[in-house]
Structure formats: structure tokens, C-alpha cells
Amino acid sequence: MKKQEQINKLIEETLESLEGVARAEAKPFLMTRIRARMFRHTESAWDRAGWFIGRPAVLLTGLCLILFINAVVVVFNRQPGKAAPIEQLSQSPNDEFSYTVATIYDIENTQP
């Protein structure tokens, strides 16, 4: 009981320990460091692209998209496709002895 009272008292004192706290001051020559950083760090388009691609959300979305495309390709390739047409290797006799009607040009060109 005594211990709990002691703890409660300490907690209240601790919660009030930041009363009247002064503002922490920045280290001297901050402006010089800012200037140096501004000149040092000129981001290129590649840096920005790298940063964008490297974001977890973009990276995960890209990965999911690739997996999805792969899955789609696999599923569609698994479907029974149409049988490949068998090439006609032998010319049928009908074709061989067929009579084709000559065009008007052929008729005209028969005359020497």
C-alpha cells in the first residue's frame, strides 16, 4: 500500500517534470550546414525514379502485377487449343485435273 502511494506520488511529480522546460537551441551554424547540404544534394531524375520504384507500395504492386501476368499466361496456355491444321501434302486428283475458267485476259492473250 505504502509502495503504491509512493509510486503514485512519483508519477505525478514525473508528469510535472517538464513544466517550465526551456526550448532546446539548435546547434550553431545551422544555415552553413543547410547551404552545404543544398549544394551537395542535387537530386537527378534517376535518383527520384529510384526512390519512387523503391517505395514498398510500388515495389509490391509491381511484383503482384508480374505474378498476375505470369498466372494469366500459364492459365491460357493450359486450355486445350485447336488442333493444328494438317497440311495437305498430296494434291488431290480433282485439283490435278480441274478445269479452271480462264479470265477475259487469258482469252485475249491466246491470240499471237
Partner 1 sequence: MDQQELIGQLQQGSESAFVRLVDEWQDMVYNTALGIVQNAEDADDIAQEVFIQVFKSIRSFKGDAKLSTWIYRITITKSLDHEKRKKRKKRFAFVQSLFGDGNEEEAQPAEFNHPGVQMENKEKATGLLQAIDRLPEKQKVAFVLHKLEGQSHREIAEIMKTSLVSVESLIARAKTNLRKLLTEYYKDKIIEPEKDPL
Q: Per rule CB under 8 A, is residue 18 in the interface with partner 1?
A: yes
21 binds partner 1 (CB under 8 A): yes
Which three cell numbers, joined as nine digits, stand for 110?
491466246
List Cβ neighbours of 62 (8 Å cut-off, separation of 6 or more). 53
First vs last C-alpha separation in the chain: 132
From residue 31 to residue 60, the character string flagging contacts with partner 1 as x (rule: CB under 8 A) and all else as - is x-xx--xx--x-------------------
Residue 22 touching partner 1 (CB under 8 A): yes
Can residue 25 be called a binding residue for partner 1 (CB under 8 A)? yes
Which one-letter amino acid corresponds to residue 89?
A: L
14 binds partner 1 (CB under 8 A): yes
Please say which residue, 39 or 46, places its beta carbon nearer to partner 1.
Answer: 39
Rounded to 5°, the CA angle 67-63-57 comes to 145
- Rounded to whole angstroms, the Cα distance separating 104 from 111 reads 12
- The one among 7, 53, 58, 107 contacting partner 1 by CB under 8 A: 7
Q: Minimum distance between the CB of residue 53 and partner 1, rounded to whole angstroms?
A: 17
